[in-house]
Structure 1
């Protein structure tokens, strides 16, 4: 009396989620979402524990990738990201996820969607949520995915084989422009902010402007209800200014509190995603935050520390650091981002059939 759907579960970066071949899900968006929610939550619609499904009960473990061969010329795969909003029983497609993207090519190889090459398989992936393109390189000696290796991703235990992700078309992917408000700095409720979109819409503000050091733990920040109310009030107004409309039910824009670096990075961060604090920092959020360091008069001015001409931007976060490699130049005083590179890892955790209530 139950329906079964083939799936795989991957850890991608510091997230994990279910991966489906698009051909195994309904083409109709409403029916597809119902099926995905049933897989993640079972009969417990909106249950924050997700005890009756395969969801992990947190935003970082309630993610889904839908993968297919791309029909776009010069592109190999289409990747649609679905964020299950924990406790709400809904799905958001307004954002993408760079961590889960790290598992897309391994999944496509394991599922037989594309054939692996020796010793490296490279594919261009269309990020269907935003239209951006990411070129991903995966180690596949003898045509098999290699998961073991020496690459370390902070926030993830152990080491694994590196997966190289070069984002080619991320500037303004969601909002249309790098600086959606047209300004390097805006003021909302007396707090200076920088709104930016280089793959992920993010609102940056100085931790000190909110009477914080920037080194507070996730638990301390999440327990500070007045702070969360202040941040959400700013986020709602910023959403309108960034042409995202009413974001009260959306997971974007993210909020990033920035402060002076503590461990040799460019600067220190605390990410609200948007209502809980990230244990680390999201891939594309890190790309947007790193890009903000290059913008004169942004809120990072006086905080970000890096050598002129560098292309490597280590962003500190609660569990370590995340290095972004930006290929950029300035033309007539305007910042041009040609490519944004990151290193991620992924691991296949399980595969088989997930059973959903009929």
Structure 2
């Protein structure tokens, strides 16, 4: 059976990544693509790397006939999705890639995003889209909120350890490096080649990054008590990829065994042999996560290092994985493409 899907915001990086993945998906067909500023243009003009595909032209959202769509991907900017989704048919399955429905508490959303939520009734309905931990809820859900790419990386490294009680919950430090595509496609001065290349820098330091709202929500829920981590992201001069190095207080072998056991049956999460650590180049363009555990020279301390592609497993690949569940399709369908190397 083939399911028809629409992609709203197809002129951005995550929209283009959705098209790339769905193009070879045997059970999904792209019925509509929206791009407000690019409406009327073919995708080949916006993304020449997709010119070999037979795709509908970009249109405005109001031009789409949603009665002919089984599932809608919303790859729209933050604060735009909530307004758009509120106006979509109530029986339409939706996977949102923005931040608008990730936080369950309206007060938490206002704290981290600086304005009240425009659709709190939908916020309460949304399922958090970290697939491996909310699989059954996603399968039965109508609206799934994709995670932040940084938040997903940190959670894959830490969440099973919190649930198993093998680390000190007050001694968690996440040092994360992210590729520039995570900042979106809009023109920004600090993302110009001359501004970004040949160096990298920290940003949103000191506990102000918005993905901390997801860490607070999910880690506290897993622990059954408040958990606040230290987290600093860095922007690196690479197009894709996230590498998170997590400093933990706990026995390294127990940490490795816990992660290996937790992810033993997860097709997209691979825990490396003890002492090995991953690289973003080994997951590039794929839906895989690589996790390594290394013992620190100090007894009772360990490093967990996780790598994923922010545009695939961190966003659009995760979205397709969740859509598969929502549509009754085998979860890995269309997502088993190997990483692109070198």
Q: Give the alignment's TM-score, normalised by structure 1.
A: 0.30
Q: Give the alignment's TM-score, normalised by structure 2.
A: 0.31
Higher helix share: 2
Higher strand share: 1
